[in-house]
Structures are given as C-alpha cells and as structure tokens.
C-alpha cells in the first residue's frame, strides 16, 4: 500500500490539525515526532525501547547508509525495517543536508553533488536519481527528494541558486521514483527570504508530491525569523497533504510548529542533550551533573511513566554520569524521547478534544528552555 494521510480534526483557534499517516508498517498519528536513527539505530537504544517511548516512526539517514553499509546490502537483508529490527514506519532523508555539512571538497552542479566521503575520503556522487534509488533499496515508507540546504547567512544569490536546484532535482526525483509502497515528499527551501520561500513552495507543490517538507530552517537563524517564516510558509503547502518541518523538535518548537499547522517533526536534540547529562521535564531542564542533584532521590519527572522515571532517582542518574557509566546516557535518552512523545500526544489530544493547543500543561517559557539547575 502507498502511504496516505487523512485529516481527522482541526483546532478552531489556530492552524493545528490532527490526522493519521497510514503506511504498510502501521499507522502514525499526527502530529508526530520522529526520533533520529542516523545509521539505522537511535543512539544507545534498542528498537523495543524506542517503541516503548510511544514512537511509531523513525528517521534514518540516507547519506550515512549510502556510505555504510550500502543500499544493496540493506536490500539483501530484506530492507531497512528487517535490517534494524524496527516494525513501524521509517522516513529516510535524501542525504543532501549531510553532504553539505559533513562532506569535504564537495562540488555542486546541475545534475547533483560530487564529494569526498567523511569516512574514508573516497570520491562519491549523489544525484536526485541516486538518492531515490538508494531510498527505494532501503524500503522506507517515506523518501525525500535531494535538495540543497544552505546555512543561514548566505547571500541571496546562493539562496536563489539553492531554490533553483532544489526545484530542478525535485522534478527529476518525481520522474524516476517508482516504488508504489513508498511515499515521496518534496522539500521547500528559501531560507528566511519570503519571496524565495514562496517561489520554492509554488514550484515544488506543482509537482504533486505525497507530502511536503520545510527545509532550511533551524539552521542558525534567530528564533523570531524562524517563527515568522514558519507562520508564512506553512499555508503555502496543500491542506490535504502532510507537512514536515525538518530538523526541529524541542518541546517549545513542537508546540509552535503544531500551532502553525505542521504534522511531522524530527530532531537529534532529545538524544544529544541526554548524552551531556540533560533531562527534559514538565518543570524545565535538569542538568544532572549539577551538585544539587547528588542527594535528590526523586524521579526525573513524577508524571512521566517511562522506565527511567519509574525505577531510578536523579541522584542515581547523576552518579552514573559522573562515573562515566553508559547506562546513564541511555536512561536519559529513553526519558527525553518519552517526554517529547508525551508532548505530541498531548498536542493531539488538545486538538481532538477542543482545548487550547499546548497551553498551561508544562512550564517551559515561550522564550526557550528554562534551566532548573
């Protein structure tokens, strides 16, 4: 079956909406957050632990899987779901962002990108056709077109060229994509330039993809520009298709994105901050290496039902981090992803039950993350 998205409910006071993405690997209620499994695994967690967080869709990284172990090997294993032991939905990115950010000596031309692998320095070539072919071999439920994602602060000429190539490559990807059980999403670029963002949306939407992503945000721009661009850009995407905000997933950004009509999110941040001893809770951010947690025998979050909060104290988790025990990072990652999934679950309930979306149920301020250390 080809994945499809159905709208189920709207919030009358914002653009928030609830729906369901149906795939061959199960249904994904939206709004949804996708933990990042860069190389076919969410770092430190087993698939059944990720499942226990409430996650029903993961993101995997085409660039990394293209280099190691290769799409053909994953296909021989029965596809990415079988290879990594994950029974639910998977979205694979195109690899474009990683080429731009990781690969040294890259060269962009009309047909694609030539770059040297960050793994062994070998010369590699990624084109719209190759990005589609690799993702078809991986067998993900949702594949992304190859795009050009420039960082914040580049010249308008560079931004305009990124929009032009992204549209050109989207047309190629649409033409060559043939896997019927895999959705293909287009990507809208344009940075925080209103005119270019609108132009990109018009050109990509015209191609009639299964869903649409907003790329090139949360790449260094000020928060007010991020929100203003999101406010304007989301309505340029079709109402009847899922909308995906790439690389965004802090609790406050989830609330802001959902209020503006976004359905899908991904972000490495919950796992990344966990590896540095930080826990997200309903009261704010706990930096557990702080001395004041040494004799704090409460759970991280008394209202959280994850295994970390049910079994362990802040004091014990701090001890694990201080002695370098990897279990500490693992337990914090499990909690942080659970916390984010609890946030999106509550957002879905707000929408379907007619409550003000995301207001009054956790204490993080509008301005960002509140530290409780």
CATH code of 136's domain:
3.20.20.105
Together in a domain, 109 and 149: yes
With respect to residue 360, please indicate whether it lies within any of the assigned structural domains. Answer: no
pLDDT tens digit string along 147-182? 999 989 999 999 999 999 999 999 999 999 999 999
Together in a domain, 314 and 226: no
Together in a domain, 55 and 88: yes
Domain count, the chain: 2
Together in a domain, 193 and 141: yes
Q: Is residue 308 packed enough to be buried (19+ CB in 10 Å), middle (13-18) or exposed (0-12)?
A: buried
Dist CA 26 CA 327 (whole Å): 31
Where is the domain boundary, 265, 282, 304?
Answer: 265
Give the closest residue to 131 by CA, choosing from 65, 53, 196. Answer: 65
With respect to residue 98, please indicate whether it lies within any of the assigned structural domains. Answer: yes
- For residue 146, give every residue at least 6 positions away whose Cβ sits within 8 Å of its Cβ, in sequence order, or none: 94, 95, 96, 112, 126, 127, 128, 131, 132, 169, 173
Taking a C-beta distance cutoff of 8 angstroms, is the pair 297, 288 a contact?
no
Please tell me the pTM assigned to this model: 0.96
With respect to residue 371, please indicate whether it lies within any of the assigned structural domains. Answer: no
pLDDT at residue number 206:
98
Give the closest residue to 97 by CA, choosing from 248, 199, 205. Answer: 248
Percent of the chain with pLDDT over 70: 97
With respect to residue 365, please indicate whether it lies within any of the assigned structural domains. Answer: no
Together in a domain, 126 and 219: yes
Asked if the model's pLDDT at residue 35 lies above 80, the reply is: yes
Together in a domain, 227 and 333: no
Mean pLDDT within 79-101: 93
Backbone angles phi, psi at 123, to 5 degrees: -80, 130
Where is the domain boundary, 265, 283, 300?
Answer: 265
Taking a C-beta distance cutoff of 8 angstroms, is the pair 94, 62 a contact?
yes
Dist CA 364 CA 349 (whole Å): 19
Dist CA 249 CA 368 (whole Å): 12
With respect to residue 373, please indicate whether it lies within any of the assigned structural domains. Answer: no
Q: What is the DSSP string of 34-88?
A: EEEETTSS-TT--HHHHHHTT--EEEE-HHHHHHTT-HHHHHHTTSHHHHHT--S
Together in a domain, 227 and 292: no
Owning domain of residue 318: 274-353
Mean pLDDT within 342-360: 94
Together in a domain, 195 and 48: yes
Two tokens, residue 350: 């707000």
Return mean pLDDT, the chain: 95
Q: Is residue 16 packed enough to be buried (19+ CB in 10 Å), middle (13-18) or exposed (0-12)?
A: buried
pLDDT at residue number 366:
47
With respect to residue 358, please indicate whether it lies within any of the assigned structural domains. Answer: no
Give the closest residue to 38 by CA, choosing from 17, 68, 9, 11. Answer: 68
With respect to residue 203, please indicate whether it lies within any of the assigned structural domains. Answer: yes
Together in a domain, 151 and 292: no
With respect to residue 363, please indicate whether it lies within any of the assigned structural domains. Answer: no
Backbone angles phi, psi at 361, to 5 degrees: -120, 0
pLDDT at residue number 361:
77
Handedness of CA 101, 106, 107, 110 (dihedral sign): negative
Together in a domain, 170 and 306: no
Indicate which residues carry an active-site annotation.
Answer: 93, 266
pLDDT tens digit string along 279-321? 999 989 999 999 999 999 999 999 999 999 999 999 999 999 9
Where is the domain boundary, 206, 238, 265?
Answer: 265
Mean pLDDT within 91-113: 88
Together in a domain, 164 and 252: yes
Taking a C-beta distance cutoff of 8 angstroms, is the pair 257, 232 a contact?
no
Together in a domain, 163 and 307: no
């Amino acid at each position: 079956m080809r994945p499809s998205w159905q709208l189920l409910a709207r919030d009358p006071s914002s653009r928030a909406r609830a729906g369901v993405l149906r795939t061959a690997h199960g249904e994904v209620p939206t709004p949804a957050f996708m933990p990042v499994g860069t190389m076919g695994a969410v770092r430190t967690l087993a698939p059944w632990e990720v499942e226990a967080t409430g996650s029903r869709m993961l993101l995997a990284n085409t660039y990394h899987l293209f280099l190691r172990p290769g799409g053909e090997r994953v296909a021989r294993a029965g596809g990415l779901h079988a290879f990594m032991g994950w029974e639910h939905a998977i979205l694979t990115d195109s690899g474009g962002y990683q080429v731009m950010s990781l690969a040294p000596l890259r060269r962009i031309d009309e047909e694609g990108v030539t770059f040297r692998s960050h793994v062994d320095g070998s010369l590699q070539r990624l084109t719209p056709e190759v990005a589609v072919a690799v993702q078809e071999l991986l067998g993900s439920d949702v594949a992304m077109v190859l795009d050009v994602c420039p960082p914040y602060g580049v010249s308008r000429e560079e931004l305009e060229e990124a929009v032009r190539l992204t549209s050109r490559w989207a047309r190629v990807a649409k033409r060559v994509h043939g896997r019927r059980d895999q959705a293909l999403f287009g990507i809208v670029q344009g940075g925080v330039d209103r005119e270019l963002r609108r132009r990109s949306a018009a050109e990509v939407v015209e191609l009639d993809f299964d869903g649409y992503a907003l790329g090139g945000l949360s790449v260094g721009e000020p928060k007010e520009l991020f929100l203003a661009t999101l406010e304007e850009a989301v309505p340029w995407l079709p109402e009847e298709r899922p909308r995906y905000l790439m690389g965004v997933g802090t609790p406050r950004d989830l609330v802001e994105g959902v209020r503006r009509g976004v359905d899908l999110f991904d972000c490495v941040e919950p796992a990344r901050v966990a590896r540095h001893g930080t826990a997200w809770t309903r009261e704010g951010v706990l930096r557990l290496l702080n001395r004041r947690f040494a004799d704090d025998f409460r759970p991280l979050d008394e209202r959280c039902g994850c295994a970390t909060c049910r079994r362990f104290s802040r004091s014990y988790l701090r001890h694990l981090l201080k002695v370098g025990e990897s279990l500490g990072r693992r337990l914090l990652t499990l909690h942080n992803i659970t916390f984010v999934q609890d946030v999106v679950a509550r957002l879905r309930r707000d929408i379907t039950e007619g409550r003000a979306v995301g207001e009054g149920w956790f204490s993080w301020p509008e301005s960002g993350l509140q530290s409780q250390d």
